[in-house]
Amino acid sequence: MVAMLIKHRPDIAPSEIISRSVYLRRREFLAGFAAAGLVAGLSPGFLRDAQAAPMKGAPSPLSTTDETVTPLRDVTTYNNFYEFGTDKGDPAKNAHTLKTTPWKVKVDGLVNKGADYDLEDLIRDIALEERIYRMRCVEGWSMVIPWVGIPLASVLKRVEPQGSAKFVAFETLVRPAEMVGQRGYFQALPWPYKDGLRMDEAMHPLTILAVGLYGETMPNQNGAPIRLVVPWKYGFKSIKSIVRISLTDAQPAISWQEQNAREYGFYSNVNPQVDHPRWSQATERRIGEGSGLFVRRRPTLMFNGYGDQVASLYAGMDLKKFI
């Protein structure tokens, strides 16, 4: 079990954050159920009780363990999820309208087992893992989040990619009746939201499909019921509420590159040496560590600190050109 020290911001009441002692007591309680075989792995129907349903996974050695975890309140109330609004607090206010069960994911393209899968069938029997990852947003802020998820590679192996597949494309849900940001005249992006990875990035062991955080089922505002997490890239690469996974031999279009290619590239690796046209990427502020003029800033790490694991994927590439 990974020990976690959770710092409280002075402007947040302790009752609004899961304390370390309560969190660990709950984890011990779940461990007892796991010993009884009640929450081991993914049981059928685990998505039916989507509100704060406990999720038990094995602690992953790939976790970032040397940093303070961002308070749960910040993780669930400070979000980019434009389908529910463009302000950071909009998803927490508006995402309750999203119905996450039942949920289907279309898998198509260059795969041998393409189909419209019930989510539970697509990820059934793949072991859940608990991973603590740094996550950085292009605007210069970051969080450290305890995810619960499964390796994307395990899902891709299940659907049997064909040898010609070189990229994996993802699409998010389009359901304007439930996603307020998808309706009206001033929508932030064309829908569906799209993103993608090169096949070797998708198969990398750090890349996961997350179904929960903080040991609970994924909150709607964080991308329920399933989202991508790629910790060495900017957060917008971690597409939420996924309904389609397509394998292709050509680099797929991604929403932010289509919207503004000058500012956003396909790879979107964290590179502090390349400034965004409108702000520096050299430093970042960790959400939950203060606010205002005296907020602490820290140097941004190349590949968000995961260079030892992923730099080899980009050997020989011009990382200023291929942003």
* Residue 318 domain flag: no
The residue that leads in pLDDT, 311 or 3, is 311
Interatomic CA distance for residues 297 and 102, integer angstroms: 42
pLDDT at 71 over 70: yes
Q: Which pLDDT score is estimated for 159?
A: 98
| Confidence band of 2 (pLDDT split at 50, 70, 90) | very low
Q: Which pLDDT score is estimated for 278?
A: 87
Could you tell me how far CA 56 lies from the centroid of its own chain? Answer: 18
Q: In terms of residue numbers, what domain contains 174?
A: 14-312
| Bridge partners of residue 233, in order along the sequence | 269
pLDDT at 8 over 70: no
**Per-residue pLDDT reduced to its tens digit, 237-293:** 999 999 999 999 999 999 999 999 888 999 999 999 998 888 888 999 999 887 776
pLDDT above 70 covers what percent of the chain?
83
| Confidence band of 51 (pLDDT split at 50, 70, 90) | low
In this structure, of 18-27, 106-115, 188-197, the range with the lowest mean pLDDT score is 18-27
Interatomic CA distance for residues 107 and 154, integer angstroms: 14
Considering only CA atoms, which of 151, 128, 120, 143 is closest in space to residue 64? 143
255, 271 Cβ separation under 8 angstroms: no
pLDDT (mean) for 187-195: 95
* Residue 322 domain flag: no
Query: Number of structural domains, the chain?
Result: 1
Q: Which pLDDT score is estimated for 174?
A: 98
* Residue 112 domain flag: yes
Which tokens hold the place of 118? Answer: 């019930």
Could you tell me how far CA 179 lies from the centroid of its own chain? Answer: 19
Instruction: For residue 231, give the CATH number of its domain.
Output: 3.90.420.10
Query: 10 Å Cβ neighbour count for 45?
Result: 9
Helix (H, G, I), strand (E, B) or coil at 307: helix
* Residue 211 domain flag: yes
How far, CA to CA in Å, does 15 sit from each of 24, 71, 73, 300? 16, 12, 10, 32
Interatomic CA distance for residues 196 and 168, integer angstroms: 5
pLDDT at 16 over 80: no
Helix (H, G, I), strand (E, B) or coil at 237: helix
Q: Which pLDDT score is estimated for 37?
A: 36
| Confidence band of 47 (pLDDT split at 50, 70, 90) | very low
* Residue 195 domain flag: yes
| Cis amide leading into 59 (omega within 30) | no
pLDDT at 64 over 50: yes
232, 304 Cβ separation under 8 angstroms: yes
Q: Which pLDDT score is estimated for 20?
A: 38
* Residue 321 domain flag: no
Tallying the residues shown for the chain, one arrives at 323
141-151 vs 283-286, strand pairing mode: parallel
* Residue 6 domain flag: no
**Per-residue pLDDT reduced to its tens digit, 114-165:** 999 999 999 999 999 999 999 999 888 999 999 999 999 999 999 999 999 9
* Residue 293 domain flag: yes
Q: State the Cα torsion 240-305-307-316 to the nearest 10°.
A: 80
pLDDT at 112 over 50: yes
pLDDT (mean) for 204-212: 98
